[in-house]
């Protein structure tokens, strides 16, 4: 059974549960490049991104018999690569900051020590300053989205604007904040901050 390109993702997962290597290869071929592109964007490092994607597929094969999906395979894989990227960023962040843990609000972060709490305070202050430097509407939308936890529909309704406009403001805000943060530790913190938001949305 080598010609599996016509099968749906759900059918492929069914065959994968039975240990079908061709089904696994087809899933790999369908999603490898998409996951690599996402991981490369998140990590800004192609070598680490490739390792992330490889790790995700290794885990899928190891757990093939028990793999069950509550949503589409593409969503499952997107969530898996996001979580893997967070693990890499956590290790990178700790290495750059003398093995201090990630801030507590980032998934996987340990309870902060006094030094870590001070570092987090400095990082959050830098983030607040970067947000404050944004155009007023961008800053308002970004705060509502990331700091108040509101979704795009809620923001659009409260501000009387279209959801597409909300998305545009958030995209512009993320770009502006990235450009405004100085130093790798601050940049890494912001990537973790953004990834934690997207991972929360997938739960």
pLDDT in tens, 132-171: 888 999 999 998 988 888 889 999 999 999 999 999 998 8
Percent residues over pLDDT 90 in the chain = 29
Task: Give the number of other CB atoms < 10 A from CB of residue 10.
Answer: 10
**120 shares its domain with 198:** yes
pLDDT digits 0-9 by tens, 180-190 = 766 555 666 66
Structure token digits, residue 85: 């990227």
Phi, psi of 45 (to 5 degrees): -155, 110
Higher pLDDT, 121 or 70: 70
**137 shares its domain with 195:** yes
Virtual torsion, Cα 111, 117, 121, 123, nearest 10 deg:
-70
**128 shares its domain with 90:** no
Instruction: State the DSSP code for 108.
Output: T
| Number of domains composing the chain | 2
Among 50-54, 87-91, 127-131, 198-202, top mean pLDDT goes to 50-54
């Amino acid at each position: 059974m080598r010609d599996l390109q016509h099968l749906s993702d759900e059918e492929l997962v069914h065959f994968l549960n039975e240990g079908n290597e061709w089904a696994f290869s087809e899933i790999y071929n369908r999603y490898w490049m998409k996951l690599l592109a996402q991981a490369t964007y998140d990590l800004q490092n192609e070598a680490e991104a490739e390792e992330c994607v490889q790790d995700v597929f290794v885990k899928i094969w190891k757990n093939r018999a028990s793999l069950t999906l509550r949503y589409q395979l593409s969503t499952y894989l997107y969530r898996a690569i996001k979580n893997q990227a967070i693990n890499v960023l956590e290790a990178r962040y700790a290495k750059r900051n003398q093995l201090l843990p990630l801030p507590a609000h980032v998934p996987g972060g340990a309870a902060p020590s006094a030094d870590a709490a001070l570092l987090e305070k400095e990082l959050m202050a830098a983030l607040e300053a970067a947000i404050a430097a944004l155009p007023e509407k961008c800053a308002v939308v970004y705060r509502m989205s990331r700091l108040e936890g509101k979704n795009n529909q809620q923001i659009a309704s409260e501000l009387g604007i279209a959801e597409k406009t909300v998305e545009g403001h958030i995209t512009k805000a993320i770009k502006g904040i990235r450009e405004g943060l100085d130093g790798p530790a601050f940049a890494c913190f912001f990537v973790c901050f953004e990834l934690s938001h997207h991972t929360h949305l997938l739960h």
